[in-house]
Amino acid sequence: GAVVSQHPSWVICKSGTSVKIECRSLDFQATTMFWYRQFPKQSLMLMATSNEGSKATYEQGVEKDKFLINHASLTLSTLTVTSAHPEDSSFYICSATPGTSGRGGTDTQYFGPGTRLTVL
Amino acid sequence: QKEVEQDPGPLSVPEGAIVSLNCTYSNSAFQYFMWYRQYSRKGPELLMYTYSSGNKEDGRFTAQVDKSSKYISLFIRDSQPSDSATYLCAMTTGGGNKLTFGTGTQLKVEL
């Protein structure tokens, strides 16, 4: 249980284009979804928190107009990197919380497999 | 000072060894503690979840929390090469608040 998928698993795009990454909770409804960015050999950096049906809350220093987050349903959140540039190349990971006790607690985050974005 | 401190390693041990991974934290409001395992180029996988001081065991893994010392540990018994990964501690104050992660410890279990 508590499986989170991401699509695509990797993407290569040209500078200036936009890229959409999907995050789905497959066997539970996610009250909250999180988006992280991870650079090589570093820990996860939280970008934003999104709740279904409301605007995402962005961490300090994260441009909300560049990283558009839509949490359209309890099982789907999308991250769109607009006008991508080479410095946006990174590993993007989403996570979701089920909001009910399971193997972990209500605050436990279950992570997707990540999306590797390379901007040429 | 970071809220959560974790030795990045790398930590190299022989197969079969007992591994001890640790994190310290400064925020006494943290109430829930997790350990995640992350293989290279993959998302983190939940290993252990605890919310009270003491030990919690799951197979070869034991999570230990000492709230009075603000110190948590993950022990891996009979370590295997497949345990080679980065181990991240994470904690939260609860109530749907965001997780605060350690930097991760890179573990290598050698044959």
pLDDT tens for each residue of B48-68: 999 888 999 999 999 999 999
pLDDT digits (tens, 9 = 90+) for A46-100: 999 998 888 899 999 999 999 999 988 889 999 999 999 999 999 999 999 886 5
How many Cβ contacts (< 8 angstroms) between chains A and B? Answer: 63
- In this structure, are residues A48 and A67 in contact, taking their beta carbons and an 8 Å threshold? yes
Calculate how close chain B gets to A13, using CA atoms only, in Å: 19
Cβ <8 Å between A106 and B92:
no
Where does the pLDDT of residue A16 fall: very low under 50, low under 70, confident under 90, or very high at 90 and above?
very high
- Residue B27 confidence (pLDDT): 94
- Close Cβ partners of A60 (under 8 Å, ≥ 6 residues apart): none
Chain A residues whose CB is inside 8 A of the B107 CB are: none
Q: What's the rounded Cα separation, in Å, for the pair B102 and B87? A: 9
A102 against A98, higher pLDDT:
A98
Find, among A106, A4, A112, the residue nearest to B49 by Cα.
A106
* A43 closest CB neighbour out of B34, B42, B103: B103
Tokens of B96: 């749907």
Where does the pLDDT of residue B108 fall: very low under 50, low under 70, confident under 90, or very high at 90 and above?
very high
Chain B residues whose CB is inside 8 A of the A23 CB are: none
Q: What's the rounded Cα separation, in Å, for the pair A44 and A36? A: 6
* B102 closest CB neighbour out of A41, A43, A93: A43
- Residue A106 confidence (pLDDT): 60
Amino acid symbol at A79: L
Cβ count within 10 A of residue A101: 10
Tokens of A86: 């080479």
Calculate how close chain B gets to A80, using CA atoms only, in Å: 19
Mean pLDDT for the stretch of residues A4-25:
96
Say if strands B11-14 and B105-110 run parallel, antiparallel, or are unpaired: parallel
- What is the DSSP-derived secondary structure letter of residue A17? -
